[in-house]
Amino acid sequence: MKTQELKGALRDLLKELRAEMRARFNRHVSAQDLLSDRWETAREHGFGEGSSCYNNVLILGDVTVGASTWIGPNVILDGSGGLTVGSHCDISAGAQLYSHHTVKRVTSMGEAPVEYAPTVIGDGVYIGPNAVIQKGVTVGDRAVIGAMSFVNRDVPPGVMVCGVPARVVPRSDQMDEG
């Protein structure tokens, strides 16, 4: 088959897959996510039963993910210093979870080493879109991390943090409890 014929066949396949995705889920995803299966990607990385992980997620080093965790598109899971994510978590699009940084190595002109520290995300944690979790942070069970927050210290269980740097705020899903 000639190159142009292959390109035409691929375009036709993508068009058919996009129509199916639109009909089933009313969404558009990248070509790579049309050609892959999120649950299969999670299984290939040894993530827990029922977890899903978009194909375009960057996964580095030692990353452990529990059961029934959803990992959205364009996420960074940096396990170079060890990253553990619990069960029943949602990690929203663009979130970045780090377990290393190179600040001292760079500012020392290569004399200092890269710094590593394990990062731990508990069970039932929601991490909002584009949130950044710094190396060495532990996020407690059932915590909520607001969109675009920078988390540079441990987060207690059950609280909501938002902002840059992230600070504890009242949880809207608990305001009516009492």
Q: In this structure, what token pair is assigned to residue 160?
A: 């909501």
Return the pLDDT at 171: 75
Residues 82 and 26 both lie in one domain: no
Residues 75 and 61 both lie in one domain: yes
- Give the distance from CA 170 to its chain's centroid: 24
Residues 43 and 28 both lie in one domain: no
Return the pLDDT at 1: 64
Q: Within a domain: residue 175? A: no
Residues 106 and 135 both lie in one domain: yes
Q: What is the CATH number of the domain that holds 88?
A: 2.160.10.10
In the 8-state DSSP scheme, what is residue 155?
A: B
Q: Within a domain: residue 5? A: yes
In the 8-state DSSP scheme, what is residue 172?
A: G
Q: Within a domain: residue 117? A: yes
Residues 12 and 49 both lie in one domain: no
Range of the domain at 4: 1-35
Return the pLDDT at 34: 87
Q: Within a domain: residue 26? A: yes
What pTM, to 2 d.p., does this model score? 0.88
Q: How many domains are contained in the chain?
A: 2
Residues 135 and 51 both lie in one domain: yes
Residues 27 and 45 both lie in one domain: no
**pLDDT tens sequence for the chain (178 residues):** 689 999 999 999 999 999 999 999 898 888 888 888 999 999 999 999 999 999 999 999 999 999 999 999 999 999 999 999 999 999 999 999 999 999 999 999 999 999 999 999 999 999 999 999 999 999 999 999 999 999 999 999 999 999 999 999 987 765 444 4
Residues 58 and 86 both lie in one domain: yes
Q: Within a domain: residue 99? A: yes
Residues 66 and 149 both lie in one domain: yes
Residues 31 and 58 both lie in one domain: no
Q: Within a domain: residue 2? A: yes
Residues 26 and 51 both lie in one domain: no
Identify the burial level of 46 via C-beta atoms within 10 angstroms of its C-beta, where 0-12 means exposed, 13-18 middle and 19 or more buried.
exposed
Concatenate the DSSP letters of all residues of 9-38 into one string. Answer: HHHHHHHHHHHHHHHHHS----HHHHHS-H
Residues 103 and 156 both lie in one domain: yes
Residues designated catalytic: 101
